[in-house]
Amino acid sequence: MKKTVLGSLALATMLCADSDVEQLKKIVADQQKVIHQLQQRIETIENHDKNRQQQELKAKIAKADTFSASFNQTGFLPDIAFIINGSAVSRNVKNSEYEKFEIPGFVDAGEAELPFNKNRGFNLNYAELALHSAVDPYFDAFAFLHLHPNKLEIGEAYVTTRSLPYSLRVKAGKFKSNFGRINAKHQHSWHFDTQPLVYKAMLGPDGISDPGVQLQWVAPTDNYLMIGAEAMQGNNERSFGDPEENNLYVGYLKGSMDVGDTTLLAGTSIAHGRNDSGHATDIYGVDFTTRTYLDAYSFLTWQTEALWRDMNDGSASNMQAGLYTQLIYQIDRNYGCGVRYDTLFRNRDGQPDDLDRYTAMVEYKPFPMSRLRLQYSHDRSKMIDNQRKDIDEVILSINIAAGAHGAHAF
């Protein structure tokens, strides 16, 4: 009986063990099936990601190919203009004497620079290469290169912003200051072949032209109103020239309005810096211009500008002043004429204050980019060998501008 009971127990145990093994095998099989399904799902997801990445890559390649096909290299080339200015001069003073002239109280003997119309006879005043290009949506770049027989001079090279908010614009590089009415203009855009006497006396032939930065703001008004400020190196030796650091600061206010067929422009400017003695120089300017249109190609322009200079040399502060006033008559599309009076009417103590010059000109423009001009002047502003000299001068000049060249402000 005992053996029978033990045998029954052993058989039951074996049957239970076999049942557990089968159940475990089933669980393992189910888990393997789930793992296989998960692996298939992972492979499906990975294949989908690969396909998506391949499609995105193909789209980028196609976009690049489209851009390459439509890219026009010439659209990024700068506008280029080539300007030539030359003259034939008759003067009642020898070249060797003229080079030594002085303007009493303003320019010492032999210190005047003479880049334009220097010699009796023929002069190549300059050849200029002007370049402009839009760099990107944010900047324009400009360069004006002066070509001389033995060197290349950078007249101006700067960038300007295109899309600043609040009607702001920044200029940075080497540029001609917007001080006054004509300082920013190049010689070939002047109405006369000679620089106004007050500019020659106070600022020299290049005017204020230095490395620096400029900020301008145009008011959101119906009539034009612009405020500008500049910080510049101050290399101008005629009035500034302290070499130790940047020392020149310029500010100006300019506005214009139309009254019927007449345009009115007015401005006021100030330049503050240090001269080569380390003391302060202040120059104040006011200008006023009117242009009345007579018909489509005919107009009358009157322009006046006055400058005052307070240049401290360490011992005294001496106020000097001068102005020019000119009247230009554009007869028709091709012909124009004009007259100008220059005077330095205030000078240092002991120096003459009746320094003046009279000028008349007539010009012919067969096309907008070419010009012939005949000019006469009678100059009473200069001394040669310590003697006051009346200088009579006749200039026949030609100016050619070839290529893409923007219009000048009048």
DSSP-assigned states of every residue in 249-282? EEEEEEEEEEETTEEEEEEEEEEEEEBTTS-EEE
pLDDT band at 152 (very low <50, low <70, confident <90, very high): confident
pLDDT band at 77 (very low <50, low <70, confident <90, very high): confident
Residue 34 has pLDDT above 80, yes or no: no
pLDDT at 243: 80
pLDDT at 62: 57
Please state the rounded mean pLDDT for residues 40-47: 66
Rounded CA-CA distance 41/231 in Å is 68
Residue 8 has pLDDT above 70, yes or no: no
Please state the rounded mean pLDDT for residues 345-352: 92
The region of weakest confidence among 118-132, 145-159, 176-190, 219-233 is 145-159
Percent of the chain at pLDDT > 90 equals 67
Please state the rounded mean pLDDT for residues 304-320: 87
Q: Strand 139-147 vs strand 280-293: parallel, antiparallel, or unpaired?
A: unpaired
pLDDT band at 36 (very low <50, low <70, confident <90, very high): low
Q: Which of 265 and 9 is assigned the larger pLDDT?
A: 265
Rounded CA-CA distance 204/202 in Å is 6
Mean pLDDT, rounded, of the chain: 87
**E strand or H helix that includes residue 23:** helix 2-70
The region of weakest confidence among 38-47, 57-66, 285-294 is 57-66
Per residue in 158-168, pLDDT (tens digit) is: 999 998 999 99
Per residue in 195-253, pLDDT (tens digit) is: 999 999 999 999 999 999 999 999 999 999 999 999 999 999 899 988 888 899 999 99
Q: Which of 35 and 189 is assigned the larger pLDDT?
A: 189
pLDDT at 176: 97
Percent of the chain at pLDDT > 70 equals 80
Spell out the alpha helix ranges (H) of 163-322.
197-203
Please state the rounded mean pLDDT for residues 87-99: 96
Q: Strand 262-274 vs strand 280-293: parallel, antiparallel, or unpaired?
A: antiparallel
Give the closest residue to 326 by CA, choosing from 356, 307, 303. 303
First to last CA, the chain: 135
Partners of 227 in the β-ladder: 217, 253
Rounded CA-CA distance 112/195 in Å is 13
Residue 316 has pLDDT above 70, yes or no: no
pLDDT at 63: 54
Please state the rounded mean pLDDT for residues 309-332: 90
pLDDT at 9: 47
pLDDT band at 67 (very low <50, low <70, confident <90, very high): very low
